[in-house]
Structure 1
Amino acid sequence: GLVMVAFQLLIEVTIFSFSSLPIFLAPLIGGAFSGLLIYFGRNEIQGSGISKAIEITHKPSALRKGTTITKMIATSVSIGTGNPVGREGPAVLIGAGVGSQIGHRLGFKDPSHLRVFLMMGSAAATAGIYRAPLGGALFATEAPYKRDARLGYFVPTIIAAITSFIVFSGIYSFITQTNSNPLFTFQASYQFTLAETPLLIFFGVVAGLVSILFAVSLMATRNFFTVKLPDWADPVFGSLLACVVIFLAALVAGPSLTIAGMGYEVINFLAENPQPILILIILLFSKLFASSSSSMT
């Protein structure tokens, strides 16, 4: 919880620091900063962090010292400069790193014991930064495995997640002197009827297909960068592509509907100010491809 408070504050400081720069140029700074870290040997910051967290969950000894700090700083600068990436992947890796350090400090050496600390750390970090304790616990016990969740870990992870949620909500509100508001501030009311079931199923199918497209886009982008470019150039080139997509999307949809950054403000705006379906489709695919490119930062 405390680490996620520091992470969130660091993101907000970097967002404020780079807010005066053009949104279609600022992401290059984040990409260059990540590239510099990788050039000096911090390759573990590449990608969102989820794949690395899953890797070290199965091989707890594979976590490099200093990963938590470098990932926190690199992600904060990347988000702060407007790269269209999120906090969830980095938070999972940061939480896993904290959990691993705590496990080692307490004298645990067996991989099966360290694995519990890694999963508790991932659950706690996700629960704190998103204020979703149940979601954090479920994610940490499901994501590392292809089929069944490890429900035997659920009790320690839910305890860690709830504790982190309470700590984050209380301390973050105290430091910022603001209430811990939800990510989405719009009011929504909906009354379900059976006649709408086919439409909801269709919506679920479309959302699933878009998710598959996003996953394929992420893997294709990562494979292309890995094969064609040196590691340090991946985030630089990725952020450059993101800048181009951000600029083109702004020309079509307008600067108020930017795809830069995490996107919560735009979602809130769209919920209260409906837009033509063509604009929504443009925003969808622009965000998808820009995020795929920026995932290397």
Structure 2
Amino acid sequence: MTKSRKTFIIILSTILIMLLALLFLFPLIWMIASSMKSESSIYNDLGGIKAFLPGLNPAQWGSAYQKLLGRFNILRFILNSVLYALAVTLGSVLVNSAAGYAFSKFDFRGKKILFGLLIASMVVPGDTIMIQKFQIVKILHLINSPWAVIFPAVAGAFNIYMFKNFFDQVSDSIVESAELDGASAFTIYWRVLLPMAKPVIATVGTLSFIGSWNDYIWPLMVLTDADKFPLQIAITNINNTQPVYMNQVMAILTISTVPLVLIYMFFQKYLVQGLAVAGNGDK
């Protein structure tokens, strides 16, 4: 392949990638721009390039957000979502890493069968066991409690699988050296192996945070008090509360979406590394 042909292919690929990226960014740009306009401007600008631009008057850019905060207790819903997501993230990292450590470094009866069942559970859609989860939460008297949202989301078969694969790649000699120095199993897990698993921690933490933040059906099933609703349920309530203003709908959607975009951009490097570990198990 000649140098000029190779350069042409690179340029063409770059252009196609940029066009594809713009195609996916259009809805996001339109949403943010619409949240910075008056109600009438949104409909007047449809069908033209102005639909992707904010209002001409900078003084109106925050008007929809101010009115939205005045009509609804948005800060409360945001705080609920943040608390749920942070609790699920922390719990996911601790529980799944501990389970992955046990499967990787401990030998116990039925280990292979138990791990096989764990992997098999990954093909079971979560919606099919939602009723069973609800019954368990009800038996534990956790209905309308934040724990009902947090506990079922903590453990995940795929997250355990990622941690196990990472710990499998850590040489057993490191564990044996720590044992010779008198370190307990928990000390080895907490002070030796877990600090080495930063890419997997970032991956599991990010995916858990995003999953909890976007969860809608499960909190709607287990929560009855509106003050405990996360932001996703609040969005539905706002969309159904008359009068409905399109710029305020776009504002609440922007509030819900932009944090996830920023989190993904910040942890993108770790996500790639962590997901690569998940497919490189050698045991």
Could you say which TM-score interval applies, normalised by the shorter chain? Answer: under 0.3
Larger Rg: 2
Output the TM-score relative to the length of structure 2: 0.28
Q: Larger % of helix: which?
A: 2
Output the TM-score relative to the length of structure 1: 0.27
Higher RCO (CA-CA < 8 Å; seq separation 6+):
2
